[in-house]
Each structure stands twice: as structure tokens, then as C-alpha cells.
Amino acid sequence: MEARIPIIVGNWKLNKTIAEALALVTELKNQLASLRRVDIGVAPVFTAIHPVVKRLDGTNIGVAGQDCYWQDRGAYTGEVAASMLADAGCRYAIIGHSERRQLFGETDENVGKKTRAALDAGLTPIVCIGETEAERDSGETFNRIDAQLAGALDSIEPHEVDRVVLAYEPVWAIGTGRTASPAQAQEVHEHIRGQLRQRFDHVADSVRIQYGGSVKPANAENLMRQPDIDGGLIGGASLAAADFVAIVKAAHLAMGS
Ligand code: PGA
């Protein structure tokens, strides 16, 4: 089997004006231009997507939407279609982030529809799943993960599954500084791959599963060395070029050895 190419994506959340976004990606472009065999992405706010796409044109860094809608057009005030992200030059769409689930009522069913729409638009969906602290404490982690996975994957055909990226993000580790230990993360990643194998057989081995939740330069390499961790979805540490570059390089190093 071909080794899975790691994928590191910076989720900027509600941060950075267009000018700030351009300054950051110009730094990334200068520092990461020569890296191969690692996929790199940034997810700006919607208003900065197009200028960032233009600035990154011809580089090895792709652009992601932080969400998308499943309808292509119509009376859906405030939404942005997956096909419109593709039209703006995006390569990826983050779907089902825990902040969308917790603050904006995203359901497992909607995550499935958005995943389908992203694939239809030619985007790579980055589907986020993960348990809350209460679910972990009550032994519900795997049940929650399985329900979220089912929501996302029910609408996908076996031949498409390797176009999907999954991001395991334990909610208790997001923005808290409390990272899952490499062993804790690997345990869940292995479980996720087992679930994929039950549904999709050997294709499961080609699906990339990112870890997200307080990834920093200091802990990135040990996380990325785990056999079923294939990159990271990076929040806070993606807002400063030096930290994000260090994390991308750590993933590159960990995968290459
Ligand atoms: P964090 O966020 O790295 O700031 O914990 C990760 C995420 O929300 O994707």
C-alpha cells in the first residue's frame, strides 16, 4: 500500500482581515514552497477566500472553506454553496466542526448532505468528528464517533471514500491547551479506521485521518508519528506563520521516517 500523504490544514475560524490573511499566506508560501509529500491548506473566513486563492495560485498550499451549504442556489440567506467554494478556487471544505455543531445546530444528517455536496462540487471534504468531555467520561466516545461517522459516510460510495479526509477532534481538546496524548488519539484513530474497514474494506487504508485539538509545534511530531494519524487540523497555532510552518515540517518529518 502507498503511504498516506499527511495533510495539515489551518482552521483560522473567525480571525484575520483580508490584509492580515494575505500577509500570513505570503509568509507560508515563502517558507513552505519547497515541501513535497505533504498536503497543506488554510481555511480563511469566506470574505478572504478569493484574495487568498489568488495569492496562493501555483503553490503547494490549497484553500478551504470553513463550512458549506448543500444547495447550489436559492432562498438560503447567509449560506455559501459547496459549488461556490469550488468556483472561488477552494480545494477543501471543512464540514461539521464541533463549533458548528455546538453553536450553530449542525446535525449529523446535515454533515452528510454537506459532505455529499462537497464531493459533487469536486472539493475534498474534511469531516470533523469527536466526543465531548462528558461523552468521554461516561464511556460514550466510540458510540458518538460511530454515529457521527455514519452521518457523514452514509451518502458516500466506496469508490469516493478516499477523497474524504476525516478530522478527529475531541471537543475537550479544542482551544483548551489540553491535547489528547498520542496514545489517546491513536486509540480513537484506530477505531475510526476499523469502522471504515467494515464499511469500505481495503479502501479504508487510503483515507487520511487528521487529529485536531491544541496541536502545537511542541507536540506535533509525536502525534504525527502515530500509525493512524495522517496530519492535523490546526486552530490557534495556525494563526502565526512560525507555529504553522513548524507543525507542517514536524508532520513531514514524522511521515518521512
Ligand atoms: P485548536 O483548534 O488547535 O485551537 O485547539 C482546532 C480546531 O478547532 O480545529
Ranges of each domain in the chain? 15-36+46-62, 63-231+250-257
- Give the cell for residue 242: 512560525
Give the residues across from 9 on adjacent strands: 41, 233
Quick one: pLDDT band at residue 201, thresholds 50, 70, 90?
confident
Model confidence pLDDT, tens digit, residues 24-48 = 999 999 999 889 899 999 999 999 9
- CA quadruple 28, 233, 257, 61: dihedral, nearest 10: -30
- Rounded-to-integer distance, Cα 250 and Cα 224, Å: 8
Provide φ and ψ at 166, rounded to 5°: -105, 145
For residue 176, give the ligand 1 atom closest to its CA.
5
Give distance in angstroms: CA of 1 to centre of ligand 1: 31
Model confidence pLDDT, tens digit, residues 161-170 = 999 999 999 9
Name the residue of 101, 214, 239 whose CB sits within 8 Å of the most ligand 1 atoms, as the mutation to test its pocket.
Answer: 214
Model confidence pLDDT, tens digit, residues 143-182 = 999 999 999 999 899 999 999 999 999 999 998 888 889 9
Whether the pTM exceeds 0.95: the reply is yes
Give distance in angstroms: CA of 201 to centre of ligand 1: 30
Note the pLDDT of residue 98. 97
For residue 236, give the ligand 1 atom closest to its CA.
4
Q: Which residues line ligand 1 (CB under 6 A)?
A: 11, 169, 174-175, 212-215, 233-237
Name the residue of 15, 166, 171, 215 whose CB sits within 8 Å of the most ligand 1 atoms, as the mutation to test its pocket.
Answer: 215
- Rounded-to-integer distance, Cα 210 and Cα 128, Å: 9
Are 41 and 9 a contacting pair, CB within 8 Å? yes
- Rounded-to-integer distance, Cα 51 and Cα 57, Å: 10
Model confidence pLDDT, tens digit, residues 96-136 = 999 999 999 999 999 999 999 999 999 999 999 999 999 99
Q: What is the set of active-site residues?
A: 97, 169
When pLDDT is averaged across residues 4-31 and rounded to a whole number, the result is: 97
Give distance in angstroms: CA of 163 to centre of ligand 1: 23
**Residues 6+ away with beta carbon under 8 Å from 64:** 9, 11, 41, 42, 43, 90, 91, 92, 93, 94, 126
Place of cell 515563502: 30
Note the pLDDT of residue 218. 96
For helices 241-256 and 18-32, give the axis angle rounded to 10 degrees. Answer: 40
Are 46 and 69 a contacting pair, CB within 8 Å? no
Note the pLDDT of residue 100. 98
63-231+250-257 CATH fold = TIM Barrel (3.20.20)
Take atom 2 of ligand 1 and give the residue whose Cα is closest. Answer: 235
For residue 238, give the ligand 1 atom closest to its CA.
3
Length of the chain: 257
